Amino acid sequence: MAVKLIKFLDRSIGSLLCGVLGIAGKNKKPPFNRVLVVQLWGIGETVLALPSIRALRNKCKNAKINVLATKRNSDVFYGNKDIGELIVLKLNPISILSFIIKNYRKYDLIIDMEEYLNISAIISFFAGKYRIGYSHGARAKIYDVRVNYNERQHVAYTFLDLLKPLGIKKGVKNLVKLDYCTEDRKKVESLLKSYNIEKKDFLIGFGVGAAESAKSRMWPKERFAELADWLIERHNAKIILIGNNDEKKLVNEIMNLIKNKKNSFDFAGKINVREMFYLISLCRLFIGNDSGPMHVAAAQGVKTIGLFGCNLPVRFEPFGKGNYAIYKKSTQDACINVHLGQVDECRYGMENACVRKIQVEDVIEVVNKIVKKG
């Protein structure tokens, strides 16, 4: 189903169902032998949820912890030893109903990590005996424990807040590294070889796209091109432009604007998600828009620079020591509030989008800081 249609149905029908189901009242806290974590949507947010799942595993060592995801974000859980079974759900009425019937009251505990989707709360109602979720929206009526969503802290900590009712109060210092298989690695290394790129080269990844819901998060292509030429000239870098199939045109346009074609490479649509995990892990530096690949880079331990405009870095900056978020707005007024379902284009329009306040010189300044630190 198209993303816009899914969100429309979730807001309209989903809100109504949450209100009706919420009348049932709260349940008593049972022993937690079977646990389901629900995280259905974006790659970036799923990456940020992994430390919480690890903390849950460390606390509930004998429990079976399953994860409910979709094809969109399922690769983030590949090879993850903190979970038992990964259940991939199709977001259509038949698949959702089938899951509910097969898993009715199957789980002792459900932790709903979705911030605003009503469908995740509805699934939690039928599949779980005891449910923990966030306290805002109609969906909150369904949960037995409602946790306040702190919008002035990083989302990695906000996910951890869902575990506090279980007595888990640990922090998080680093994200969980993302896994890939031998075939993923071989595919990437073959591509690198075809481009005469060696692992010892100063590889810099560019994440030039953004999710379809808010394209105004994207830094102008002309500035990416100018930055690429500076990095190539100053540091003899090799620039890898990363993008999915839908971003081929954008990456091609940036490639055409880069003057130094010899040291810039188009990887758009040529690798899958897990292959992207490995490719990014080979980079010495990653510079990208507020999107999934930026969070992937931070998880893989790559020094990361995130470019922000519509969204607040305090919530979504690249997590980890030595990473940077560049944000040039004078106030903490966000056009995007994911937890409220507000993931629309910049209120100032595409041509005046907030991210355009960032100049090439701003990024160069941060690059110099990172290089200076080694």
DSSP string of 132-160?
A: EEESSSGGGGG-SEEE---TTS-HHHHHH
CA–CA distances in Å: residue 180 to residues 240, 262, 320, 329, 358: 19, 29, 21, 37, 34
- Decide: 296 and 276 in contact? Cβ < 8 Å: yes
**How do residues 203-214 score in pLDDT, each as one tens digit?**
999 999 998 778
Q: In this model, does residue 3 exceed pLDDT 80?
A: no
The residue behind tokens 């993923």 is: 184
- Residue ranges and CATH numbers for the domains of the chain are 3-166 (3.40.50.2000), 182-372 (3.40.50.2000)
DSSP string, 160-172: HHTTGGGT-----
- How far apart (Å, rounded) are the C-alpha atoms in residues 367 and 143? 45
How large is the average pLDDT for residues 5-25?
62
The residue behind tokens 């209120």 is: 347
Q: In this model, does residue 10 exceed pLDDT 80?
A: no
Q: Residue 342's pLDDT is what? A: 85
Closest CA to 178 of 319, 275, 88: 275
Three-class DSSP category at 42: coil
Q: Residue 126's pLDDT is what? A: 97
Closest CA to 162 of 277, 261, 48, 323: 48
How large is the average pLDDT for residues 133-162?
96
User: What token pair was written down for 305?
Assistant: 């620079």
Query: In this prediction, what percent of the chain has a pLDDT beyond 90?
Result: 80
Closest CA to 227 of 289, 156, 151: 289
How large is the average pLDDT for residues 342-352?
85
Residue 149, judged by CB atoms within 10 A of its CB (0-12, 13-18, 19+), counts as: buried
Residue type, 234: R
Q: In this model, does residue 1 exceed pLDDT 60?
A: no
Confidence band for 348, pLDDT divided at 50, 70 and 90: confident
The residue behind tokens 């394209």 is: 215
How large is the average pLDDT for residues 225-251?
96
User: What token pair was written down for 5?
Assistant: 């249609």
The residue behind tokens 């932790």 is: 111
Q: Where are the alpha helices (DSSP H) in the chain?
A: 3-9, 15-21, 43-59, 93-102, 118-127, 155-161, 182-194, 221-235, 248-257, 273-281, 292-299, 313-316, 360-372
Q: In this model, does residue 200 exceed pLDDT 70?
A: yes
Crossing angle of the two packed helices 43-59 and 292-299, in degrees rounded to 10: 40
Q: In this model, does residue 64 exceed pLDDT 70?
A: yes
Residue with the bigger pLDDT between 63 and 211: it is 63
Sheet holding 203-207, edge to edge: 264-266, 238-242, 203-207, 285-289, 303-308, 324-327
The residue behind tokens 């994911």 is: 338
- How far apart (Å, rounded) are the C-alpha atoms in residues 290 and 219? 9
How large is the average pLDDT for residues 88-117?
96
Q: Residue 312's pLDDT is what? A: 93
Please provide the average confidence, as pLDDT, over all residues in the chain.
92
How large is the average pLDDT for residues 153-162?
97
Q: In this model, does residue 20 exceed pLDDT 80?
A: no
Ranked by mean pLDDT, the top range of 27-41, 92-106, 329-343 is: 92-106
- Cβ-proximal residues to 270 (8 Å cutoff; 6+ apart), any chain: 191
- State whether the Cα torsion 194-197-198-203 is positive or negative: negative
Ranked by mean pLDDT, the top range of 26-35, 68-77, 162-171 is: 68-77
Q: Residue 28's pLDDT is what? A: 61
How large is the average pLDDT for residues 78-101?
96
